[in-house]
């Protein structure tokens, strides 16, 4: 186990080091700057609005928009980094070098997961920081520090669990891993997660993250009430339970992925 | 060292390797076969990267598919190109050694030693995109030997090397083989492998057609049909003499001084030619085998294997 973790860490560091290309850095920067830019435009639009939007409503909307945009950006980054874990190596013909190492397959699976998580979480942190600064400076938000800490915690869990899921999909569906990942997000988090029911939506990851956000951030959905929310989405569990579920799902996906990558045959006969 | 029992690998309805039985003790082996013959599939089976559809594979007495820890004892230099353009040779080899379970400092030390051994220490801090084909080949060998394996497997190691590179590669392989460690050298070029003087494993169409020392393989081929072009000053006289003294299947005058012979017994022909030219003082300027290519050799072996051709010339 120690060797596996050591090798996974080596893979993660190697991946991150070798990915400092102009293209990849530019993509990461665009992703990190997208939420604060959109937020800035929203605040600017509200400032010049003739109807005059109240500061508290604007604060609610900007908080919600921050969560949605950073959620979108983190998912995109994780899809870009985690899903090609096997396909990139097979296409780049480097798979054979790594797979011919002792426990090389598990090392690359875990290493690439760690790299995807680290990069995506770093993007999230930059984004959260800029958005918090913007909200605080423009709208004088109450407790901006707590807002930052809460979002950092929520997106830590989000990057962990979605990184695990996308890594698993990358192992299972080599050719169309990205399509399956987008399909999973739409199917699970947009469709199932939005079903007004007490049981069905609990199977989506979004539900658990949403419940944690609800408790940590306090009420953030604008023009609504907790009663209405509970009518639609049902009662939640304790934050600890939600965190345990998320960590459990992450561990389960990583175990499944590791077992799949070891037991599957990947054809590497390029020129026999 | 390696044992394959009736091993067959199917890729859906395509046969990768077909019913191969092998028992290789530690030593030097040349795995020869034309492109698409199943060499890489066989290597992947030995390394546990593929699971045999039928039969079994053991490496150092253990099933490699189940125990990937075994790979600690193996060094692989695949035929595929390195695709880490931004990494330096040292970074890449260090990472490869780290994956064998070494800590960074240890791995870096081993990587440096190995790159020095393959003659790449002067360029180890340069990005690999600036490497020539020969340098990349050396880096590949460096990562394969850095952890001091018991068995080294090289797939087409001569690909893309210039004559100096080929000579250096041959010298390196001879040195490695002289240490008594296992070496499997897969190639489709006979003379490159022959220089290392290994035992041959001849594979074609996924089947192991012949195996043994160079002398043993030559014996198998000695009595098989053979085509020969001879350039001489007296083609008619030589043709008559050869027909009288040897079992010639067909004979054709290609030009005024060239004849094309086909015989069912190459060994007999090669015995007769020196006797005839010595007795009758015939001058021969060139003897050229028209089917010296490995493909012809393999097609001949395939015919032998299928029973379409009998040794000694009867078909």
Contacts of A94 in chain B (CB under 8 A): 82-84
Cα pseudo-dihedral B131, B134, B137, B143, rounded to 10: -60
B78 touches chain A (CB under 8 A): yes
**Nearest C-alpha neighbor of B64 from the set B53, B52, B78, B77:** B52
Number of separate domains in chain A: 1
**Tell me, what's the pLDDT at A53?**
63
CA–CA distances in Å: residue B150 to residues A81, B65, B144: 36, 18, 11
3-state SS, residue B227: strand
Q: Any idea which fold B223-306 has?
A: Alpha-Beta Plaits (3.30.70)
B99 touches chain A (CB under 8 A): yes
ipTM: 0.79
Q: Alpha-carbon distance B193 to B217, whole Å?
A: 14
Maximum average pLDDT range among A151-155, B23-27, B129-133, B280-284: A151-155
* Cα-Cα-Cα-Cα dihedral sign, residues B63, B64, B70, B76: positive
Burial zone of B229 (CB within 10 Å; 0-12 exposed, 13-18 middle, 19+ buried): middle
Q: Alpha-carbon distance B38 to B54, whole Å?
A: 16
CA–CA distances in Å: residue A141 to residues A35, A53, A131, A261: 17, 15, 11, 47
Distance, in angstroms, between B60 CA and closest chain A CA?
A: 14
Contact across the interface for A272 and B98, Cβ inside 8 Å:
no
Contact across the interface for A6 and B103, Cβ inside 8 Å:
yes
**Nearest C-alpha neighbor of A100 from the set B100, B164, B279:** B100
Q: Alpha-carbon distance B290 to B295, whole Å?
A: 12
Q: Are B17 and B41 in contact (CB under 8 A)?
A: yes
B284-289: strand order across its sheet: B248-255, B258-263, B226-232, B284-289
**Tell me, what's the pLDDT at B313?**
44
Q: Encode chain A (272 residues) as per-residue pLDDT tens digits.
A: 777 888 888 889 888 887 778 888 899 999 999 999 998 888 888 777 766 666 667 777 788 888 899 999 999 999 999 998 888 888 877 888 888 888 889 999 999 999 999 999 999 999 999 999 988 887 666 778 888 999 999 999 999 999 999 999 999 998 888 899 999 989 888 888 777 665 667 788 888 888 888 888 876 555 556 666 666 666 667 888 999 999 999 999 999 999 999 888 887 655 44
Which residues are CB-contacts of B31 (< 8 A; sequence separation ≥ 6)?
B39, B42, B43, B184, B185, B186, B187, B201, B203
Cα pseudo-dihedral A103, A109, A112, A118, rounded to 10: -100
Number of other residues whose CB lies within 10 A of the CB of residue B143:
27
B270 touches chain A (CB under 8 A): no
B95 touches chain A (CB under 8 A): yes
Contact across the interface for A94 and B83, Cβ inside 8 Å:
yes
Distance, in angstroms, between B65 CA and closest chain A CA?
A: 9
Write out the two tokens for B101. Answer: 């379970």
List chain B domain ranges.
2-220, 223-306
Number of other residues whose CB lies within 10 A of the CB of residue A233:
20
Interface of A with B (CB under 8 A): 3, 6-7, 10-11, 14, 17-18, 20-21, 92-94, 96-105, 107, 262, 265-272
Which residues are CB-contacts of A111 (< 8 A; sequence separation ≥ 6)?
A7, A8, A9, A10, A11, A12, A14, A15
Q: What is the DSSP string of B8-40?
A: EEEETTEEEEEEEEEEE-SSEEEEE--TTSSHH
Which residues are CB-contacts of A154 (< 8 A; sequence separation ≥ 6)?
A67, A209, A212, A213, A216
Which of A1, A92, A101 should we substitute to test contact with B (largest number of B Cβ atoms within 10 Å)?
Answer: A101
Q: How far is CA A198 from the centre of its chain?
A: 24
Contact across the interface for B79 and A270, Cβ inside 8 Å:
yes
CA–CA distances in Å: residue A175 to residues A85, A86, A100, B94: 11, 9, 22, 30
B45 touches chain A (CB under 8 A): no
Question: b vs e for B89-100, b when ≥16 Cβ sit within 10 Å of the residue's Cβ?
Answer: bbbbbbbbbbbb
Contacts of B84 in chain A (CB under 8 A): 18, 94
Number of other residues whose CB lies within 10 A of the CB of residue A21:
11
Q: Which residue of B has its CA nearest to A92?
A: B83
Pairing assessment for the beta strands B182-187 and B151-155 based on DSSP bridges: parallel
Q: Is residue A23 part of a domain?
A: yes
Which residues are CB-contacts of B219 (< 8 A; sequence separation ≥ 6)?
none
Q: Are A85 and A171 in contact (CB under 8 A)?
A: yes
Contacts of B99 in chain A (CB under 8 A): 7, 10-11, 98, 101-102, 104, 107
Pairing assessment for the beta strands B258-263 and B226-232 based on DSSP bridges: antiparallel
Cα pseudo-dihedral A80, A86, A91, A97, rounded to 10: 130
B12 touches chain A (CB under 8 A): no
Q: Which residue of A has its CA nearest to B203?
A: A272
Q: Which residue of B has its CA nearest to A16?
A: B87
**Tell me, what's the pLDDT at B134?**
82
**Tell me, what's the pLDDT at B306?**
63
Burial zone of B14 (CB within 10 Å; 0-12 exposed, 13-18 middle, 19+ buried): exposed
Half-sphere exposure of A272 (CA within 13 A, CB side): 19
Q: Alpha-carbon distance B295 to B38, whole Å?
A: 14
Report residue B8: phi and psi, to 5°.
Answer: -130, 140
Contact across the interface for B71 and A101, Cβ inside 8 Å:
yes
Pairing assessment for the beta strands B199-204 and B226-232 based on DSSP bridges: unpaired
Q: Are B145 and B75 in contact (CB under 8 A)?
A: yes
Nearest by CB to A102, from B41, B72, B81: name it.
Answer: B72
Domain coverage including residue A126:
2-263
H helix or E strand, kind and range, residue B155? strand B151-155
**Tell me, what's the pLDDT at A272?**
44
B70 touches chain A (CB under 8 A): yes
Contact across the interface for B96 and A101, Cβ inside 8 Å:
yes
Which of B53, B99, B159 should we substitute to test contact with A (largest number of A Cβ atoms within 10 Å)?
Answer: B99
**Tell me, what's the pLDDT at A226?**
66
Q: Alpha-carbon distance A234 to B37, whole Å?
A: 63
Q: What is the DSSP letter of A188?
A: I
**Tell me, what's the pLDDT at A234?**
65
Structure confidence by residue, pLDDT tens digits, B244-297 = 888 888 888 888 888 988 887 777 787 888 888 888 888 888 887 655 555 566
Q: Are A43 and A62 in contact (CB under 8 A)?
A: yes
Write out the two tokens for A260. Answer: 């799949």
Structure confidence by residue, pLDDT tens digits, B174-228 = 888 888 888 998 887 666 777 777 788 888 888 888 788 777 766 666 656 677 8
Which of A9, A97, A99, A109 should we substitute to test contact with B (largest number of B Cβ atoms within 10 Å)?
Answer: A97
CATH of domain B2-220: 3.40.50.300
Contact across the interface for A272 and B39, Cβ inside 8 Å:
yes
**Tell me, what's the pLDDT at B32?**
82
């Amino acid at each position: 186990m120690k060797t596996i973790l050591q090798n996974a860490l080596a893979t993660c560091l190697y991946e991150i080091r070798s990915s400092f290309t102009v293209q990849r850095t530019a993509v990461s920067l665009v992703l990190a700057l997208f939420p604060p830019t959109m937020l800035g435009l929203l605040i600017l639009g509200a400032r010049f609005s003739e109807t005059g939007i109240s500061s508290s409503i604007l604060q609610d909307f900007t908080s919600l928009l921050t969560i949605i945009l950073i959620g979108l950006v983190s998912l995109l980054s994780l899809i870009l980094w985690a899903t090609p874990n096997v396909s990139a190596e097979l296409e780049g013909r480097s798979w054979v070098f790594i797979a011919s190492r002792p426990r090389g397959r598990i090392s690359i699976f875990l290493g690439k997961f760690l790299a995807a998580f680290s990069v995506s979480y770093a993007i999230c942190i930059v984004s959260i920081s800029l958005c918090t600064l913007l909200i605080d400076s423009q709208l004088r938000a109450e407790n901006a520090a707590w807002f930052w800490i809460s979002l950092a915690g929520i997106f830590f869990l989000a990057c962990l669990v979605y990184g695990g899921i996308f890594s698993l999909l990358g192992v299972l569906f080599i050719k169309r891993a990205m399509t399956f990942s987008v399909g999973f997000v739409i199917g699970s988090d947009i469709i199932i997660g939005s079903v007004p029911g007490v049981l069905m939506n609990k199977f989506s990851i979004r539900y658990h993250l949403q419940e944690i956000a609800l408790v940590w951030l306090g009420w953030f959905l604008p023009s609504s009430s907790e009663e209405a929310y509970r009518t639609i989405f049902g009662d939640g569990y304790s934050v600890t339970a939600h965190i345990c579920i998320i960590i459990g799902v992450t561990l389960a996906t990583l175990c499944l992925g590791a077992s799949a990558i070891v037991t599957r045959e990947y054809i590497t006969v390029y020129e026999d | 060292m390696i044992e394959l029992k009736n091993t067959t690998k199917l890729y859906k309805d395509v046969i990768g390797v077909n019913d191969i039985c092998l028992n290789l003790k530690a030593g030097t082996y040349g795995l020869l076969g034309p492109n698409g013959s199943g060499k890489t599939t066989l290597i992947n089976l030995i390394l546990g990267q593929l699971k045999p559809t039928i039969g079994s594979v053991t490496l150092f007495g253990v099933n490699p598919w189940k125990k990937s820890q075994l790979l600690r004892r193996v060094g692989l230099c695949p035929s595929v190109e390195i695709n880490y353009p931004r990494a330096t040779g040292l970074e890449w080899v260090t990472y490869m050694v780290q994956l064998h379970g070494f800590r960074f400092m240890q791995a870096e030390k081993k990587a440096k030693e190995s790159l020095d051994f393959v003659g790449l220490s002067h360029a180890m801090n340069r990005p690999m995109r600036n490497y020539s084909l020969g340098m990349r080949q050396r880096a590949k060998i460096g990562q394969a030997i850095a952890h001091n394996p018991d068995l080294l497997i090289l797939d087409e190691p001569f690909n893309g090397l210039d004559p100096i590179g080929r000579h250096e590669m041959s010298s390196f392989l001879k040195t490695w083989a002289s240490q008594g460690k296992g070496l499997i050298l897969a190639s489709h070029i006979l003379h490159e492998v022959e220089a290392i003087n290994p035992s041959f494993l001849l594979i074609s169409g996924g089947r192991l057609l012949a195996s043994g020392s160079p002398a043993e393989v030559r014996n198998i081929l000695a009595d098989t049909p053979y085509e020969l072009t001879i350039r001489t000053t007296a083609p008619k006289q030589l043709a008559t003499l050869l027909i009288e003294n040897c079992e010639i299947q067909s004979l054709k005058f290609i030009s005024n001084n060239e004849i094309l012979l086909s015989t069912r017994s190459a060994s007999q022909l090669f015995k007769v030619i020196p006797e005839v030219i010595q007795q009758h003082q015939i001058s021969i300027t060139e003897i050229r085998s028209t089917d010296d290519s490995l493909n012809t050799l393999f097609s001949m072996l395939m015919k032998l294997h299928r029973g379409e051709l009998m040794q000694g010339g009867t078909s």
